[in-house]
Structure 1
Amino acid sequence: MSKPKKLSFADRLLGWFDVHGRHDLPWQSPRDAYRVWLSEVMLQQTQVATVIPYFDRFIKALPTLPDLAEADEDTVLALWSGLGYYRRARFLHAAAKQCVALHGGELPRDYDALAALPGIGRSTAGAILAQAHGLRFPILDGNVKRVMTRFHGIHGHPGQSAIEKQLWALADKHTPAARAADYTQAIMDLGATLCVRSRPACEECPMSVDCVAFRDDLTGQLPSTKPGKVTPTRQTVMLVLRDAQQRVLLERRGEQGVWAGLWSLPEALDSEDAWKAAERLARIDDARALAPFTHVFSHYKLKVEPLLFDEATAHAAIADNPRLRWCDTGDIAALGLPAPVRSLLQSL
């Protein structure tokens, strides 16, 4: 009597997904290319629970790709404000404009054309084509890397070129021809709900019977961590210049560097430089130090010392500078501001 055929990786995963997977995410109904793309970009570096309200707000304001393309940058950045990694939003906006100019206002179904758009890498392109069109393309986001690394017992940081190449090959091997959309969601769900970074729920995992990390008690060591580096700390003084009408002076940041293109507060190197910088912008009488705070980026920490200048009077030259503007509460709500700056202004 022949032995029953062993279920494949994909079959086991899909069986689990049908019962335990996430089927009610807002970008799944309808699961069109624009909504899938928007969700994939938002989910980079951000968890689903955090993304959902931002996705709902964004899609309500800009329900179609042409709507995104026609929106001005301040509108896009304001809708994105709080999600962080603002370069994603700028790439999203630029890609939408290219789709209108080159692809009839739609995301192309051709992989090469899709991957050529700003901010769409190999994994995002695969996710769009698989989930929106049911095409067989592998993905390799952080969740999938973790699942593949543990299941196959692969040592070495997933960000290393050789390891990543190996993981792509495995991701492609396991991706089935049928139910590509469901499989793509399933592998992400597995990594997000069971095969999590710490304390994975291996007893509930449909893959644990063949998982090397589970078998060898390596779930705490895999994926291998990146070689440690000391996180540097930078300092800045943020100038909160507020006039008699309670308007605050904002400055649009340059096109490069952190918070590129966002409206923020003018900055200075230290408290002595802060007075000189403030005097160049407005007539001031006094200043009050606000509570300092630290904002953590992926590569460094930024220690911020806010300095409030009340009853500031603008110099006439500010009116002619497009990168400076006095903003009331309504203006601020409609602009793209870094989350810590928005929080600081809301606390005043």
Structure 2
Amino acid sequence: MSDIAAPLLAWFDHHGRHDLPWQHAGPGNARDAYRVWLSEIMLQQTQVATVIPYFQRFVETLPTLRDLAAADEDTVLALWSGLGYYRRARFLQRAAQECVARHGGELPRDFDALVALPGIGRSTAGAILAQAYGLRFPILDGNVKRVLTRYHGIHGHPGQGAVEKQLWQHADAHTPSQRVADYTQAIMDLGATVCVRSRPQCDACPLATDCVARRDGLTAQLPSPKPRKTIPERDTVMLVLRDARGKILLERRGPQGVWSGLWSLPEAGDNDAAWRIAQQHAVIDDAQALTPFVHVFSHYRLRIEPLLFDGATAHPAIADNPHLRWCGAGELASLGLPAPVRSLLQSL
């Protein structure tokens, strides 16, 4: 067993998380590969507390991989709505469909077959194989990177190729041959609850004795931050066309760009263009500017100016457009909507 596995597993037995909803859900109370996979995808860029209600709602509606593969895209995106990074949901369904077509409706136990599926990288494949099947494969998610970076005193941003290669070597060397599923959960839990980004609880850490960052006073400097870039800003006007019955006009976004394939509000570059677009879709009399707000993506900030056209009357011509639909409040829950759009509509 590696130098950190024994103390880490001993800590996990008393302090680790043993009752997460994706644990112990398969036959004989074993971990189910579908649930492990789903949780790993949801947990990318998202904390456990946020993921849990989304995960529970998702598996209640789509309890098996075959259910996910057969679902319509709107159902999948509606269940994902609010988690962001929607490409994850599309890759999830595409991977499920490939598993049905090529792997008998199951996630394969072969590493190469797993990483060949859409949206499954090296660390996610390792987590599935280790946690669901007990196979010895290392993982390297954000929490594990932080633990290993501090423990070994590794400088340089963990996303840089040379640094990441070094971290993978350490991750593999530390992964034990026994209790692999528990070890995998343990090192993730340590990073999530003790070796946290700010103010790590070193006195509660089972690895503190040999941790280089603690010894040298570098816990605040490691992991090294990503070199900062100026985040650009963009502006858009969102058209809120609402008819006399309270229905809102939604438009399905194209296959490219952010929120691809989701139902959203029509957009324009400025107010003049917004009026022209609104008049193409409906008979309108007046508009009311709503409170602008900012939505932050990983690579830019979007300043949204909503413009409400109340009492709009739909042009009959748009009824034949499959990318446009008038929706009442009761229909919105069943559609994949970007989180800021859903919040905007709920505020009306």
Corresponding residue number in structure 2 for 1:68: 68
Secondary structure of the equivalent of 2:126?
helix
Tell me the residue number matched to 2:220: 220
Structure 1 segments of 4+ aligned residues over 4 angstroms from their partners: none
1:15 and 2:10 aligned:
yes
Q: Deviations over 1:170-219 (max 9, x none)?
A: 00000001000000000000000000000000010000100000000000
Deviation at 1:314, TM superposition (A): 1.1
Any unmatched runs of 5+ in structure 1?
1-5
Partner of 2:311, secondary structure, is coil
Write out per-residue CA displacement over residues 106-127 of structure 1, whole angstroms, 9 at most, x where no aligned residue.
1011110111000000000000
What corresponds to 1:277 in structure 2? Answer: 277
1:29 to 24, 30, 46: 24
> Which residue in 2 is equivalent to 1:3?
none
RMSD of aligned Cα (Å):
0.9
Q: CA deviation at 1:37?
A: 0.2
Change (3 A) 1:337 1:176: same
The 5 A counterparts of 1:300-339 are 300-339=300-339
What secondary structure sits across from 2:235 in the alignment? strand
- What CA distance in whole angstroms lies between the structure 2 residues aligned with 1:232 and 1:316? 39
Query: 5 Å matches for 1:152-171?
Result: 152-171=152-171
Residues in 2 aligned to 1:77 and 1:7: alpha-carbon distance in whole angstroms: 42
1:29 Cα deviation (Å)? Answer: 2.0
3-state SS in 2 of match to 1:28? coil
Matches within 5 A, 1:80-159: 80-159=80-159
Distance 2:3 2:276 in 1: 68
TM-score of the aligned structures, taking structure 1 as reference length? 0.97
Distance 1:80 1:193 in 2: 25
Which residue in 1 is equivalent to 2:299? 299
The alignment covers a number of residue pairs equal to: 343
Instruction: Using the TM superposition, give the Cα deviation of residue 331 of structure 1 relative to its aligned residue in structure 2, in angstroms.
Output: 1.4
Alignment partner of 2:7: what SS? helix
1:260, distance to aligned residue in structure 2 (A): 0.9
Amino acid at match of 1:329: A
Deviation string 1:248-293 (CA, Å, 9 cap, x unpaired) is: 0000011111011100000000111111111111111000011111
Q: Helix, strand or coil for the counterpart of 1:91?
A: helix
Equivalences for 1:170-185 in 2 at 5 Å? 170-185=170-185
Tell me how far apart the structure 2 counterparts of residues 223 and 278 of structure 1 sit (CA, whole Å). Answer: 49
- TM-score, normalised with respect to structure 2: 0.97
In structure 2, the partner of 1:261 is 261
Counterpart in the other structure of 1:53: 53
Paired letter, 2:15: H
How far apart are the structure 2 equivalents of 1:262 and 1:26? 28
Paired with 1:70 and 1:286, the residues of 2 have a C-alpha distance of 44
Partner-residue secondary structure (3-state), 2:151: helix
2:335 partner amino acid: L
Conserved in 1, the CA contact under 8 Å of 2:2 and 2:176?
no
Structure 2 counterpart SS, 1:149: helix
Contact 2:293 2:305 (C-alpha < 8 Å) held by counterparts: yes
